[in-house]
Amino acid sequence: MATKIQKRLLGKSGLEVSALGLGCMGMSFAYGQPKDKNEMIALIRTAVERGVTFFDTAEVYGPFTNEELVGEALNPLRNEVVIATKFGFKLDPTGKSKWTGVDSRPEHIRGVAEASLRRLKTDVIDLFYQHRVDPDVPIEEVAGTVKDLIQEGKVKYFGLSEAGADTIRKAHKEQPVAALQSEYSLWWREPEKEILPLLEELGIGFVPFSPLGRGFLTGKIDAGTKFENNDFRSTLPRFTPEALRANRVLVDLIGNIAEQKDATPAQVTLGWLLAQKSWIVPIPGTTRLDRLNENLGADTIEFTAEELTVMNEAASKIPIKGSRYPEDLQKMAQK
């Protein structure tokens, strides 16, 4: 049995989790056909055996089916784990169509909390993120609503996702933000400019999603890779054949470092994130046991300060082609 992975504190909130979490979205949503439920339950429970204590889901993943999966998988292990879920999208209640916008009105947040508690088979949500900022609802009102839910014992910690600096400051004054979840990896380093220094100042933890660049940074995807129509990546500008071809330079750099470290590109990519700050907890997603074990191996990779400097400088010189999202989704990020 491999050594259990280390623990980290998400900022100054007191919330302790495994140094690597498990993003569960892809088990039910976004990357082709949903996977076999029993296989995914087994994978989640194996992750707990390996020392993972931090699991990420959201009502919009499915919608609804991913929370049900996570709830069933973790119900017998509930006292050993931290479950994070999210509110803030406007959804078709039948679950037949995708989200139709954002909605963080207080009554909507409360409704989502009650529904998520049922689907997760629990009496408390450990970490409740606003999934995307709602421009029509003041963030102080959102934070205040979650504060009430915390006082009622239905939520333990408040989080934000893809929020900009002003939003984070305003929210944190109303109710301390335990964690910000946003994209961060070697091919999306925007958070380094303004967000990471702010989180350090305020004592907020950082949970990078897509830490492996939606699979691209593992080296397993190239310009010839074909994505199914129901694979989210088929709509992303960064995953056109032209962009994949251009961005391969970064994958080659990671691959060279992986060879030197006797590690895999995925482990180097995650290890780099872990080395940035002690309060960063990436949540790579996977539906395969071999990939889970590979990802968790990143916990043992160490970089010297000199190695990190060389790596950062080399990566920063590589221009990345393609935006993260199509235009409609891009507008929702960093508000």
Domain assignment present for 308: no
Residue numbers of the domain that contains 153: 7-213+276-301
Give the pLDDT confidence score for residue 95 in this predicted structure: 58
Domain assignment present for 256: no
Domain assignment present for 153: yes
Give the pLDDT confidence score for residue 262 in this predicted structure: 97
What CATH number does residue 108 fall under?
3.20.20.100
pLDDT at 334 over 90: no
Catalytic residue IDs: 61
Domain assignment present for 55: yes
pLDDT at 9 over 80: yes
Give the pLDDT confidence score for residue 96 in this predicted structure: 62
Count of domains for the chain: 1
pLDDT at 242 over 90: yes
Domain assignment present for 29: yes
Instruction: Convert the pLDDT of each residue in 68-99 to its tens digit.
Output: 999 999 999 999 999 999 999 998 766 566 77
Residue type, 93: P
Q: Tokens 């006797």 belong to which residue?
A: 262
Q: What mean pLDDT do residues 188-196 have?
A: 97
Instruction: Convert the pLDDT of each residue in 98-119 to its tens digit.
Output: 778 999 999 999 999 999 999 9
Domain assignment present for 284: yes
> Beta strands 101-102 and 177-183: pairing type?
unpaired
Give the pLDDT confidence score for residue 1 in this predicted structure: 47
Domain assignment present for 222: no
Distances (CA, A) of 245 to 236, 252, 280, 321: 14, 11, 30, 9
Domain assignment present for 104: yes
Contact 127, 92 (CB under 8 A): no
Q: Tokens 């963030």 belong to which residue?
A: 139
Of 263, 255, 286, the residue nearest 186 (C-alpha)? 255
Q: What mean pLDDT do residues 293-300 have?
A: 96
